[in-house]
Chain A
Amino acid sequence: MKFGIVVFPGSNCDHDAYHAVKHVLGQDAEFVWHKDTDLKRADALVLPGGFSYGDYLRTGAIARFSPIMNAVRAFAERGGPVLGVCNGFQILLEAGLIPGAMLRNRSVKFQCEHVHVRVDQTDTPFTGACRKGEVLRLPIAHGEGNYFAPPDVIARLEANGQIVFRYTNAAGVVTDEANPNGSVAAIAGLCSERRNVVGLMPHPERACESALGSADGLRVFESAVESLKSGTLVARA
């Protein structure tokens, strides 16, 4: 299986995602430059973390205008699996591929630490290998991860089962203390209505080897490999 990793100017988790899928998982991977328009026949796309264009305006606000984003959007519309991590998630929000927006963390500070997230939906290409309710220990590293959407949108996300990951304690219970940034409904990650586009603030690519403190993030990438094998992937770049 081939992962395409989109590199925006200011992406800084691109090499980490590449390492995780290529060297830890043993899958094929290739970088896709933001000025390109061709996705290099990738089976799945990763929009990595970082500070695209410096994020001086609003996180992800400029990256969504990069030339490659037309190809990303078309790929998503064909049902291709797209994973946005951290800044990649913020770009997906700005691009309208997933609803909602990010506010600054309620601490008004950048936070880098391990948190627990519960997998609430397993019918996406990035959670199929997880058990429903499984708790993953993943790192976060962001200043603007406080997810916000109006109540009617949240209600729709809940009804459609689009809330894929929630911040919880180690036992899988949503508590205010376990919510690191103030996100509405403890939302850590969402999927699109068609379920093929998934965005999350935590960094699964940083949690693929136990030497780094957790290997739980591997489940996210293994899910993509499994979903390709089982034929649930419906498109190819």
Chain B
Amino acid sequence: MIDAAVLERHGIKPDEYDRIVTFMGREPNLTELGIFSVMWSEHCSYKSSRVHLKTLPTTGPQVLQGPGENAGAVDIGEGLAAVFKIESHNHPSFIEPYQGAATGVGGIIRDIFTMGARPIALLNSLRFGSLGEPGTRRLLEGVVGGIAGYGNSIGIPTVGGEIAFEPSYAGNPLVNVFCLGIAKASDIIKGVASGTGNAVYYVGAKTGRDGIHGATMASAEFDDKSAEKRPAVQVGDPFMEKLLLEACLEVMQTDALVGIQDMGAAGLTCSTTEMGSRGGAGIEIDVSLVPQRETGMTPYEIMLSESQERMLLVAKQGREAEVERIFEKWDLHASHIGEVTSDGLLRVKERGAVVAEIPNGALTDEAPLYHRPMAVPEYLAEVRRLDLDALASSSEVGRPAGEVLLALLGTPAIGSKRWVYRQYDHMVRTNTINGPGMGAGVVRIKETNRAIAMSVDGNGRYCYLDPRHGAMLAVAEAARNVACAGARPLAATNCLNFGNPERPTIMWQLAQAVEGIGEACRALGTPITGGNVSLYNETDGRAIYPTPVIGVIGLLEHADRVVTRRFQAPGDVIVLLGEGRGELGGSEYLKFVDGSVRGIPPVLDLGAERALQPLLADLAADRLVRSAHDCSDGGLAVTLAESCFDTDGIGADVSIERTAVAKAEPINVAAALFGESASRVVISAAPDAVSEVVKRAGDAGVPARIIGRTGGRSLRIAVGGRVVVDVMLTDAERAWSDALQKYFVKRVA
């Protein structure tokens, strides 16, 4: 009996139910209602975001596969394709951090190998509340442990990522995971079912009751009862996935497959529906043939289970034995659970009797589409006001700049993330030529001379202050990181993490951010090839900062010309590319001295950015630069310090101009040192290469200023001719190294 309570439990609104009845021409039964509820959930249908996502640029000569498949793909030359995507696992990671994060990794890896690509690298982007809270440390340990546990075991290196800590994420941590794979461009496989009568196979782990309604959970806010949702979080088995990965890639070599899709969110329901829908066909399965881990499972439970490490595939007629044999080799059993039909229906049987029958189109194309109302949030007017001169009276501002630099380097936001990435195997597969620790991760492609650089970036503070601009800055930063490594940015993927879209102010943030991403991606020539939307990141009515996370990949034609952030030799010349404007709005410095997140985020001049990025790739290709590091959190002073770290003690002596952003001189000095103006990169070059570097920059229209030299055991920075920072490198590096570690020192009772 379907009544209001049943509908509410399924997250289906009354008008949505009316829509279901209209499409079906009858009342659905409970199994059918369950299928609708997951397919029409925000997580699967993108019903709030779709109208906005449609505006994103998704095409380009390099794009082989845009959004709509399991992952995007771009041409990287020599007949190869880079297949990549980012996905969130936010809600499950809050409820059960280890398994939530682990299964997030498992899910994105399946998306990549489903396309016929061998996964070769992982990145992650994480957000937590303040590290001072024990609850945050527990979440961080669990999430990092889960990512490590899965990625390390399956043998895919985690080569980079980013983490930020902000109270707004305390009840809703973000766990976004990115995976990159490589395939022959001609061998990309799609998630389609076609050819009436072709066998539909189920392979992988058995189906249990875990994860039922996971997609629905990810489409609602949290409240004080959320901990009770633990059974909706799945448990990961990386060993099973390793077998699946190897077996599926082996099967794909045979051309015996029509299509393949992993069972992620909404499990068997989503994979059968989407494969049928893409192929313009139907799929009929009998749930009694589905391998089950528990007894007495109903068709409803089997269709909605989100048990991990399962794949659905369609074999060509006459090739079934070949497919089955390969899976047997890997000790996996491929179960023949149904057939492709020509009627465009999802038909579910149980021991021959039909228990659900729904047109595929009703579940996919006809899913609700909302133009949700939008409103500018009231908080904006207040938080965008920033009076720098009022700030000057703060005692923190009066501290010597060197002390402030050391303190900033010791914050979790800026400090070394080694405590985290040491737990990730970042070397397995022996392709990692620039590992985690800042900037882009870079992996070589062994059969070629090429390498792929990749970076994920986002800045919730900037987006909180201006979602459109903040999103543009995220695109620019991710692409700039890739360019700093010497690569040419090729394409992007996005993960949109927001609050409850039913609130007009959240919807406005989302729409603004998508506009910003679109504009920046168009300007920088990095189309969006896929991604994921995670909404309802709210607890008890408090939303996270709007947090679009952007992943950008780029191509290095010569892997041996990769550039890192680290100074390479004493006596090199340090050049600052780009223009500093002393912007402190939303900066790490402001948060540190004032505890506030306010002001206007840095201006992004897309023209300047578009000139800068190819220049970086050109300088690297011609071996004119020896290091390159993007200025971001903490500004120029932090960037210089980071360029000195991990170099066996190569210091720097630098002189920069003062900025005039306030009446108070300490603020002007701080703005020059710690302002976060965009489109700036610190590079170093051998003395005999500098004139060429400066000339190339001039030709490209990029401001380039020689600001100092590498060498010595300290970092000295003069602003307007006066030395304001003079710190021993050993002190700076110690503060930076301990930043996270110090929160996890074992206390002996």
B155 and A12 form a contact (CB under 8 A): yes
Does A55 make an interface contact (CB < 8 A)? yes
Give the residue of B149, B239, B421, B426 whose beta carbon is less than 8 angstroms from that of A9: B239
Chain A positions 117 through 147: 1 when the CB is less than 8 Å from some CB of chain B, otherwise 0: 0000000000000000000000101010000
Given contacts A110-B148, A141-B427, A212-B432, contact A9 B422 (CB under 8 A): no
Known contacts A10-B153, A111-B422; is-contact A56 B430 (Cβ 8 Å): no
Query: Is residue A40 within 8 Å, beta carbon to beta carbon, of the partner chain?
Result: no
Q: A51-B239, A110-B423 are in contact. Are A9 and B428 (CB under 8 A)?
A: no
A111-B432 in contact (CB<8A): no
Name the distance in Å between B203's Cβ and chain A's nearest Cβ: 15
Is B152 interfacial (CB-CB < 8 Å)?
Answer: yes
Q: How far is the CA of A209 from the CA of B433 in the complex (A)?
A: 10
* B559 close to chain A: CB less than 8 A: yes
Are B446 and A10 closer than 8 Å at their CB atoms? Answer: no
CB of B679, distance to nearest CB on chain A (Å)? 30
Given A9-B239, A112-B422, A112-B424: A141 in contact with B153 (beta carbons within 8 A)? no
A109 partner residues in chain B, CB cutoff 8 A: 145, 422-423
Are the C-beta atoms of A12 and B559 separated by less than 8 Å?
no
Is B560 part of the binding interface, using a Cβ–Cβ cutoff of 8 Å? yes
Listed stretches A13-21, A90-98, A186-194; interface member: A13-21
B243 at the interface (CB under 8 A from A): yes
Chain A contacts of B239 at CB under 8 A?
Answer: 9-10, 51, 53-56
A50 to B246, CA, bound (A): 14
Q: A10-B239, A53-B239, A212-B433 are in contact. Are A112 and B426 (CB under 8 A)?
A: yes
Smallest Cβ-Cβ distance to B158: which chain A residue: A112
Name, among B153, B237, B444, the residue most crowded by chain A CB atoms within 10 Å (CB to CB).
B153
- Given known A-B contacts A54-B239, A211-B444, A211-B560, A206 and B424 have beta carbons under 8 A apart: no
Q: B433–A141 contact, CB under 8 A?
A: no
Q: Is A203 an interface residue (CB 8 A)?
A: yes
CA distance A16 to B330 in the complex (A): 20
Please state if A110 and B430 are interface contacts (CB–CB under 8 Å).
Answer: no
* Residues in B whose Cβ lies below 8 Å from that of A143: 152
Provide the residues of chain B in CB contact with A111, threshold 8 Å: 422-423
Cα of A56 to Cα of B154 in the assembled complex, Å: 13
Contact between chains at A19 and B446 (CB < 8 Å): yes
B331 touches A (CB below 8 Å): yes
- A211–B238 CB distance below 8 A: no
- Whether a CB of chain B sits under 8 angstroms from the CB of A113 is yes
| A10 and B242 form a contact (CB under 8 A) | yes
Pair B331/A55 contact, Cβ less than 8 Å: no
In residues 368-382 of chain B, which contact A (Cβ within 8 Å)?
Answer: none
Q: Which residues of A contact B427 (CB under 8 A)?
A: 112, 139, 141, 203, 206, 212
Whether B429 sits at the interface, judged by CB under 8 Å, is yes
User: How long is the Cα–Cα vector from A113 to B428 in the complex, in angstroms?
Assistant: 11
Interface check B425, CB cutoff 8 A: yes
Number of A-B pairs, beta carbon distance below 8 Å:
84
A211 and B430 alpha carbons, distance in the complex (Å):
10
**Least CB separation from A19: chain B residue:** B430
As a 0/1 sequence over residues 6 to 40 of chain A, the CB contacts with chain B under 8 angstroms (1 = contact) are: 00011011011001100100000000000000000
Residue of A at shortest CB range from B562? A211
Chain A positions 189-228 with a Cβ under 8 Å from a chain B Cβ: 203, 205-206, 208-209, 211-212
The minimal Cβ–Cβ distance linking A35 to chain B, given in whole angstroms, is: 8
A56 to B235, CA, bound (A): 14
Residues of B within 8 A of A212 (CB): 427, 430, 432-433
Check A54 against B153 for contact (C-beta < 8 Å).
yes
- Chain B residue with minimal CB distance to A56? B239
A191 to B197, CA, bound (A): 58
B429 CB contacts on chain A under 8 angstroms: 15-16
A12-B331 Cα distance, complex, nearest whole Å = 17
Closest to B433 in A: A211
Residues of A within 8 A of B149 (CB): 110
A211, closest chain B residue (CB): B433
Q: Is the CB of B428 within 8 A of A110?
A: no
CB distance from A137 to the nearest CB of B (A): 13
**14 interchain pairs, CB-CB under 8 A:** A19-B446, A20-B430, A49-B428, A53-B239, A55-B239, A109-B423, A110-B152, A112-B421, A112-B427, A113-B422, A141-B425, A206-B427, A211-B444, A212-B427
List the 8 shortest-distance A-B pairs measured between CB atoms, nearest first.
A12-B155, A54-B239, A51-B153, A16-B430, A141-B425, A112-B425, A110-B423, A110-B148
Residues of A within 8 A of B (CB): 9-10, 12-13, 15-16, 19-20, 23, 49-51, 53-56, 109-113, 139, 141, 143, 203, 205-206, 208-209, 211-212
Given A113-B422, A139-B427, A143-B152: 10 more A-B contacts, CB < 8 Å: A10-B242, A12-B155, A12-B242, A13-B428, A19-B446, A23-B446, A51-B242, A111-B423, A141-B428, A211-B433
